[in-house]
């Protein structure tokens, strides 16, 4: 996000402020950070963000072991599924998952709210970017303090 804001010549907020935008839609985040609804300007911010992500940022992250996933879903480059509620509905339809058998595991309010909108149970994890308060206020069904405890939280 810093790279994108700097590339646009925009002021960059403190890390604590930027961290609050991790999880929700990048389009929404950049619209707020750049204070605009101009889709071209938001697109330019996204392009700069992806420029750094593909060159450097991708290698600064650790991926969960693949054995835990049969498929990986997320928002598309064109903006489809930016909204967590729509993304969860898409996963249910694509994988033919019954909502009553599903659990959304997430670290932000948008994860919990997306789960609730799709009648899915949610586990708010406390090792991510969101706070315990954020997850409780969003209505997480359960909270989990550590990855090793996750299976017991279902």
Residue 63: is its pLDDT beyond 80? no
Give residue 44's domain range: 2-60
How many structural domains comprise the chain? 2
Question: Are residue 79 and residue 116 in the same domain, yes or no?
Answer: yes
pLDDT at 64: 75
**Which CATH number do you get for residue 119?**
3.40.50.1000
H/E stretch holding 116 reads helix 109-117
User: Is the CB of residue 80 less than 8 Å from the CB of residue 73?
Assistant: no
Residue 65: is its pLDDT beyond 80? no
Q: Is 7 helix (H, G, I), strand (E, B) or coil?
A: helix
pLDDT digits (tens, 9 = 90+) for 116-141: 999 999 999 999 999 999 999 999 99
**Which CATH number do you get for residue 24?**
1.10.150.240
pLDDT tier, 24 (very low <50, low <70, confident <90, very high otherwise): confident
Considering the domain boundaries, does residue 69 fall inside one?
no
Considering the domain boundaries, does residue 65 fall inside one?
no
């Amino acid at each position: 996000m810093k790279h994108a804001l700097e590339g646009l010549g925009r002021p960059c907020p403190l890390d604590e402020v930027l961290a609050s935008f991790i999880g929700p839609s990048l389009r929404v985040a950049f619209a707020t950070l750049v204070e605009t609804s101009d889709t071209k300007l938001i697109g330019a911010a996204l392009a700069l963000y992806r420029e750094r992500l593909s060159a450097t940022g991708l290698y600064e992250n650790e991926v969960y072991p693949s054995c835990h996933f049969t498929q990986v879903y997320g928002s598309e480059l064109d903006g489809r599924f930016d909204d967590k509620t729509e993304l969860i509905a898409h996963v249910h339809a694509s994988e033919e998952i019954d909502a009553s058998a599903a659990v959304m595991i997430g670290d932000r309010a948008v994860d919990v709210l997306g789960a609730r909108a799709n009648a899915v149970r949610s586990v708010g994890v406390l090792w991510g970017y969101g706070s315990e308060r954020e997850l409780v206020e969003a209505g997480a069904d359960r909270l989990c303090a550590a990855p090793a405890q996750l299976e017991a939280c279902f």
